[in-house]
Amino acid sequence: LALMRLAEALLRVPDPDTAIALTADQLGRADFDGASDGVMARLSASAIGLSKKFLPEAGQPTLMSRLGARSVVAATLRAVQLLGRQFVLGETIENAMKESVRARRQQPHLSFSYDMLGEGARTAKDAQGYLESYQNAIESIATSADKTRACELNDGISIKLSALHPRFEAAQHARVMAELVPRVWGLCELAAKANINLTVDAEEVDRLELSLDVFEALAAQVARHHPQWQGFGLAMQAYQTRSLELVHHVIGLARRYKLRLMCRLVKGAYWDAEIKRTQESGLPHYPVFTHKHHTDVAYLACAQALLAAPDAIYPQFAGHNAGTIAAILQMAKDVVSSLPAGAVEPASPGRRRSAPSGGSEPHEAGSVGPTSQFELQRLHGMGESIFREVLKNPAVSCRVYAPVGAHRDLLAYLVRRLLENGANSSFVHQLADESVGMDVLLTSPLYLESTPSLPLPADLFGPLASGARVNSAGLDLTVAAMWEPLQAALASTGVPQIPVFNVKSGHSPIKTCQESYQKWSKTAVTERAAILRRAADALQTQLPRFCALLVKEAFKTWGDAVSEVREAIDFLRYYADEAERIMQPIALPGPTGETNELRLTARGVWVCISPWNFPLAIFMGQVAAALSTGNAVAAKPAEQTPGVAWEAVKLLHAAGVPEGALQLFNGPGDTVGAALVAAPGVAGVVFTGSTQVARLINRALAAKDGPITPLIAETGGINAMLVDSTALPEQVADAVVQSAFRSAGQRCSALRLLCVHEGIADHVIAMIQGAAQELVLGDTADLATDVGPVIDREAFDHINQHLRRLNSTSKVVLSAVNNDDSAINKIANMIAPAAYEVRSLAD
């Protein structure tokens, strides 16, 4: 892993000192002294271990160590470049095509699908660059394409939809369909006219529905304008639990439009990311199989379905597992023998089928071969020994998936390939391991037993049987079925109007809480915890309604609203568990015949003052912590969002919290908040907000007679990000835009200060500018909105005053988004993302 991190970053580092520090850091993390199998592995380990001795230690490096370190870095750079050559066919399409000619001298039946290296576009400029790269590649491939040969036999290109649009995500569905489909259709027309194939690559699970919508729109265009072109294709991932349903869907699509589509079946290369995303999102189940042999079984089931639809599908089976390849070849024979004569006629009218130029003779009539049924595929640089044996059969052809691009663009592709094929369970890894016997290599996945599986996201904190806390459940907003309940809730949910507490009534604001405290504090901690868990379950059930309330009253985007409700649920369950843990009596040592116990008890009435930027999560966290330990609560929400707090209090009362033990006081902080803090008998104050107000509260408490009243305050600050020259610009841009501008920047954790290494500053800042310009400003009730209005007019005026000052004193880096500015004019309190280059922290 250390070597992979080094490989992806070293080529991007502009200065030698950072390159030396990075190499020392990454090689220093790895253990190269352990046992290694194979002569080359042992030699490599020894060489790298020796290299570590030339790298500088912490502190002042000596001249000798610096000279040695530069040599190590130079050698490492060369090693990374060689590694790149292993997996990348060429740095340009022209070089890659020359390499393909050399490869065909050894294996004449090889064909290629070129993939232009690079990941998802962050900016419109990125997307345009990828589009031009694809266009150039298609035009270059066309120069050697045989227009008289079946399209399936010619070389082709693989494209990533996310590389062609900077917002290729479900929330931007309408925009993607309007902008991306014409863009990709232009590439399809070029490929169709050149008689080469074009395959849409598979990406992350949350982009599947959007990818299918784009693919179907393009298939309809193909059927209308190029019905004889049989080179349009889609890659499908067998590790998805819905892979077989996807295969049948694509078969139905091909038959509906009377096309024969090329379908590349892969096992999948985003497994780690899919597992992490599902766990973080609290989804009900994993979208991918959690056991590798289940993926192997699904792959074979999908292969069987593809082979059984020769009228609609030209199957392309990608993989390096000898067992899977053998099964595919056997299934192909069985399927072909069962098909009626003339069932398949894939060649376009007027086109003859022949072997690729430089290849062997055409297959005999009736034989199973790539010209009529299917092809195998492998990645460039992998599986060559296996396919060397497979291709001894002249009836089998192979296409090489061939990345093309600069070595500095290698990162994501290289990491996925090494993780996918370097894992201990990988066939390629096991084949190279002499300790793995042939019986293990060839064991059918149908007979493998499942090892303990990953816990479901709900059980992330431990099995429920052991009493572990249940993880809150989220919603996948990329799935229409999960979006529908939110729309329904939005239509039916209103914001309640909460009366302002009259501080001049002459009554003690916390008297009712004090009276209820005595009974509530004597309630068993297990019962109090059970009440909070019931409240958590109720909040989970009512998640769509509370999300709608957050959208309407606090102007939250839907994604932020879902996350906040989940956080509130977690707070309720967490504090229930913690209270049961810490409030159990603890036996203390003492003399014989004497029992000593330490018990924690409630303090009394706590005043909880919460902010408007997290009106549910922070409100619920403060209240739950106090209630769980037996305290009564006088809760004062922000005056901008009392409706959310009121509904939360009602939910807690319904779950079993006595009304007197939890009272809501709505109103301004300088009147209602001040009255609560000043009330006699307050046992403590919890506050989240500005440092200035926290100081006022602290002084007010200090001025009171009686025991010292504790204050727990979470106040603001400046969140800074330091970016050195080893950082990946795309990751920096994603993180900066997410942290600085989402939630309209209204979080204490929102990024305020970005410090970028001067060697990469221009490139990184340009990418951030472009990414920010793609943000959608508007009504947060719209799923497509990224940035909504600030909370109120006071905040709007304060921010604009700050912006005017920065406009006059600092260099403007980002002043507005590049979209319809009508949102700024039509929606109150809208402020576009802005960024400035400042001279010092004082600015």
pLDDT surpassing 50 at residue 613: yes
For residue 335, give every residue at least 6 positions away whose Cβ sits within 8 Å of its Cβ, in sequence order, or none. 304, 307, 308, 310
Weakest mean pLDDT among 9-23, 235-249, 348-362, 690-704: 348-362
Q: Where are the domains of the chain?
A: 2-82, 91-447, 465-585+599-715, 721-837
Percent residues over pLDDT 70 in the chain: 81
Q: Residue 323 — pLDDT band, cuts 50, 70, 90?
A: confident
Set 119, 179, 578, 714: catalytic member: 714
pLDDT at 416 over 70: no
Q: What is the mean pLDDT of residues 730-750?
A: 93
Q: Token pair for residue 424? A: 């201990």
Of 99, 203, 748, 794, which is the active-site residue? 748
pLDDT > 70? residue 352: no
Is it the case that residue 833 has pLDDT exceeding 90? yes
> Is the pLDDT score of 8 beyond 70?
no
Longest dimension (CA), the chain: 104
**Cα–Cα separations (whole angstroms), residue 640 to 509, 560, 692:** 21, 18, 19
The predicted pLDDT at position 124 comes to 96
Confidence of residue 822 (pLDDT cuts 50, 70, 90): low
Using left for φ > 0, alpha for ψ between -120 and 50, and beta otherwise, residue 467 falls in left
Q: Do domains 91-447 and 465-585+599-715 have the same CATH topology?
A: no
Asked if the model's pLDDT at residue 459 lies above 80, the reply is yes
The per-residue pLDDT for 832 is 92
Per-residue pLDDT, 817: 47
| pLDDT exceeds cutoff 60 at 371 | no
Under the banding of pLDDT at 50, 70 and 90, the label for residue 30 is low
> Active site includes 375?
no
Q: Which CATH class is domain 91-447?
A: alpha beta
CATH code reported for the domain at 465-585+599-715: 3.40.605.10
Q: With beta carbons less than 8 A apart as the criterion, state whether 641 and 669 touch.
A: no
Report the pLDDT value the prediction gives residue 29, as an integer from 0 to 100.
63
Q: Residue 393 — very low, low, confident or very high, per pLDDT cuts 50/70/90?
A: confident
pLDDT of residue 608: 98
**How sure is the predictor about 315, in pLDDT bands with cuts at 50, 70 and 90?**
very high
Q: How far is CA 312 from CA 256, 373, 597, 673, 828, in A?
A: 9, 11, 76, 70, 53
CA distance to 85, 409, 774, per residue, from 133 (Å): 20, 14, 21
Q: What is the mean pLDDT of the chain?
A: 86
Which segment of 21-25, 88-92, 437-441, 623-627 scores lowest on mean pLDDT? Answer: 437-441
Lowest mean pLDDT across 166-170, 357-361, 591-595, 660-664: 357-361
Q: Which alpha helices (DSSP H) does 265-382 contain, by range? A: 271-281, 292-307, 322-338
Region at 518 (left for phi over 0; alpha for psi -120 to 50; beta for the rest):
alpha
242-280: pLDDT as tens digits: 999 999 999 999 999 999 999 999 999 889 899 999 999
Instruction: Give pLDDT, residue 365.
Output: 36
Q: Are 147 and 195 in contact (CB under 8 A)?
A: yes
Per-residue tokens: 546: 């509370």
Residue 840 pLDDT grade (very low, low, confident, very high; cuts 50, 70, 90) = confident
CA distances from 525 to 583, 625, 633, 755 (A): 7, 12, 16, 48
Q: Answer yes or no: is pLDDT of 361 > 50.
A: no
Three-point CA angle 341, 342, 347, nearest 5°: 150
pLDDT band at 44 (very low <50, low <70, confident <90, very high): very low
Domain 721-837 in this protein, CATH class: alpha beta
Name which of 45-49, 292-296, 689-693, 811-815 the model is least confident about. 45-49
- What is the per-residue DSSP string for 548-612? HHHHHHH---HHHHHHHHHHHHHHHHHHHHHHHHHTS-EEE---TT--EEE-----SEEEEE--S
Give per-residue pLDDT as tens, 209-247: 999 999 999 999 999 999 999 999 999 999 999 999 999
pLDDT at 368: 43
The single-letter code of the amino acid at 754 is L
Band (pLDDT 50/70/90 cuts) for residue 354 is very low
In the predicted structure, residue 556 carries a pLDDT above the cut 90:
yes
pLDDT over 90 (residue 375): yes
216 is catalytic: no
Q: What is the pLDDT of residue 45?
A: 44
pLDDT digits (tens, 9 = 90+) for 481-502: 888 999 999 999 999 999 999 9
628 has pLDDT over 70: yes
